[in-house]
Amino acid sequence: MSDYLSRISCFREISVSLKENSPRRIVSEIKFDGDVFRLIFSYNRRVEIPDENLAGMISLLPVVNFALFTDKIIADFPSDSVDRKFISEMIRINNIETFINSICRRRYEFFRKDFLPDDGDISLENAVGRTEVEYTGEGKALEKLREKTSANGMGVMLSGGKESLLTFGMLREMGMDPWALFYNESGAHWNPAIPVNRYIRSTERDLKVWTNTDRLYRRMLRSMKILDQAAVSAVADTYPIQLFVFPVYLMAALPLMLTQGIGRVFMGNEFDDPREMVPYMGISHYYGIYDQSEEFIMRFNSYLSEKGIALKLLSALYPVSAAKVEETLISRYHDLYVMQRSCHSSRISGGEIIPCGRCSKCIGVISLILAAGGNPEEINYRKSDIQYAEKRLLTDRIRLDPDEVKYIISRMHNRDPGDAGHIAGFHILPGEKELYSHLNAELRDGFVGILKNYVHGVYELKDREWVQSPKYSF
């Protein structure tokens, strides 16, 4: 092990052992260097009892967040070669994301200065790490659940953000009657989803996982000597380490999806400009959003397929900018827009979810709403929050691509967006030959039929410039 990896090693060993597997919950024991945590996943409906392999995988994925700082992970449950290959890939990719985005390209000083890397420490070898995974049992997964899914069964991972709300609205308009899937962590992270969860509960189309993963994360963070604990405890709009988020949500929700016969589930991904994804000191990475990328969707679908599970993860908005997502949501599904909450530092007051109005997430949301001609006060922002966001839009704390910021400013001030005009259109991403190549004709036609009322033109990359494609007339 390199000197730097030895210096940042915090856990000699993390073990994951299954303790309870029932129609209502999964309980596992997470042990790390003398500490023991009881990890729980609880379901709001009875599920067909997952076999020990699936229950174990659900319990293991949260630990991937800490793999870079761990010498050995012990998976004490039955697994097969498909699981092991998937976990190996996820650990490798997440270790790189953690090393580059949490340690090197950090936005906050969560790490103590004496544990930050020198230039000589920034290498692919150190980014990949040396995490060893030991598996204690053999077993095939999901034998009883493989035939449960249906291509007609739809689900949306609903978080309270604009992307998942718009996806839900479009599927509903297309007559798909989607299920809403919620991941309810035990802390304030759940607050943004409360308004839409209240609404969906009244329709009886809600599927919810309650879990204490956030408490596990806090316990582990507190034991890490390399972190500045005062900074970790302070309110921030990003996590100190945890970048591996959506795979945990998805795996935890699998028993609900399989029991209800959901064959296609949508994430709320939106467009991220691939031109901005430049290597850091020669190391390629995903800027901390691998689990919201098309590459992750394809890899997760490959894993499910190799396990014999007829379920696909999809995105309805990956070629559409945040600006156009917000505009469409406000204009077409205003009933859903008023339930939009994206702030993880929000508070509850008088039964209402009140965003903080100061974090980068809030600044971005307010700016997008203003650019779309909407009123941020409808979703509980104050006038002072709006004034603050307008001042901060030009600073580097805004978490949007540069062209998106340029486009937003042009819309707010009635200017020509110039070379940022592609933000108003659909995007054909590298590796695609046509728009929405990852969707079947029914879904593609349905989404385009709705979005073309707000999204104009189709763009593709030519010599690192977005140019309008002549093949499309909308």
431-444 tens-digit pLDDT: 899 999 999 999 99
pLDDT of residue 140: 59
Q: Give the residue from 253, 285, 315 where a domain finishes.
A: 315
**Exposure class string for 140-162: b at 16+ Cβ within 10 A, else e:** ebbeebeebbeeebbbbbbbbbb
Say whether both 223 and 98 belong to one domain: yes
Residue 445 lies in a domain: yes
pTM given for the model: 0.94
Domains: count for the chain? 2
Determine contact, residues 316/170, Cβ cutoff 8 Å. yes
Say whether both 246 and 376 belong to one domain: no
CA triple 219-223-226, angle to 5 deg: 130
Residue 170 lies in a domain: yes
Determine contact, residues 99/290, Cβ cutoff 8 Å. no
Residue 294 lies in a domain: yes
Quick one: pLDDT band at residue 138, thresholds 50, 70, 90?
A: confident
Quick one: pLDDT band at residue 376, thresholds 50, 70, 90?
A: very high
Q: How many other CB atoms are there within 10 angstroms of residue 78's CB atom?
A: 21
In whole angstroms, give the CA distance from residue 16 to residue 61: 10
In whole angstroms, give the CA distance from residue 31 to residue 74: 10
Distance of CA 184 to the CA centre of its chain: 14
Say whether both 222 and 77 belong to one domain: yes
Residue 323 lies in a domain: no
In whole angstroms, give the CA distance from residue 100 to residue 314: 27
pLDDT in tens, 324-364: 999 999 999 999 999 999 998 899 999 999 999 998 889 99
pLDDT of residue 82: 94
pLDDT of residue 222: 96
Domain that holds residue 253: 3-315
Determine contact, residues 407/371, Cβ cutoff 8 Å. yes
DSSP states along 311-363: -EEEESSTTS-HHHHHHHHHHH-HHHHTT----TT-EEETTEEE--S-SHHHH
The CA–CA distances, whole Å, from 62 to 28, 67, 179 equal 12, 10, 24
Residue 441 lies in a domain: yes
Q: Give the residue from 280, 315, 350 where a domain finishes.
A: 315
DSSP 8-state assignment for residue 461: E
Say whether both 259 and 220 belong to one domain: yes
Question: What pairing do the DSSP bridges indicate for beta strands 426-428 and 458-462?
Answer: parallel
Tokens read off for 423: 């933000």
Please indicate whether residue 326 or residue 188 has the higher confidence score (pLDDT). 326
Tokens read off for 383: 């006038």
Quick one: pLDDT band at residue 149, thresholds 50, 70, 90?
A: low
Quick one: pLDDT band at residue 221, thresholds 50, 70, 90?
A: very high
Residue 450 lies in a domain: yes
Say whether both 383 and 304 belong to one domain: no
Say whether both 310 and 345 belong to one domain: no
Long-range CB contacts (within 8 A, 24+) of 1-8: 1/71, 1/130, 2/121, 2/123, 2/125, 2/126, 2/130, 4/117, 4/121, 4/126, 5/126, 5/129, 5/130, 7/115, 7/226, 8/68, 8/69, 8/103, 8/115, 8/226
Residue 123 lies in a domain: yes
The answer, yes or no, to whether residue 183 has pLDDT greater than 70, is yes
Which burial class, exposed, middle or buried, applies to 325 when counting CB atoms under 10 A from its CB (0-12, 13-18, 19+)? buried
Distance of CA 399 to the CA centre of its chain: 15
In whole angstroms, give the CA distance from residue 257 to residue 154: 9
In whole angstroms, give the CA distance from residue 106 to residue 111: 9
In whole angstroms, give the CA distance from residue 427 to residue 369: 21
pLDDT of residue 51: 86
CA triple 390-393-397, angle to 5 deg: 135
Say whether both 95 and 53 belong to one domain: yes
pLDDT of residue 99: 98
The answer, yes or no, to whether residue 302 has pLDDT greater than 90, is yes
Say whether both 305 and 349 belong to one domain: no
Say whether both 307 and 346 belong to one domain: no
Residue 97 lies in a domain: yes
Question: Helix or strand or coil: residue 162?
Answer: helix
Question: What pairing do the DSSP bridges indicate for beta strands 25-32 and 35-43?
Answer: antiparallel
pLDDT in tens, 28-64: 999 998 899 999 999 999 998 778 999 999 999 999 9
pLDDT of residue 151: 62
Say whether both 263 and 376 belong to one domain: no
Say whether both 66 and 212 belong to one domain: yes
Question: Helix or strand or coil: residue 131?
Answer: coil
Q: Give the residue from 253, 283, 315 where a domain finishes.
A: 315
Say whether both 343 and 255 belong to one domain: no
Strand partners, 14: 32, 73
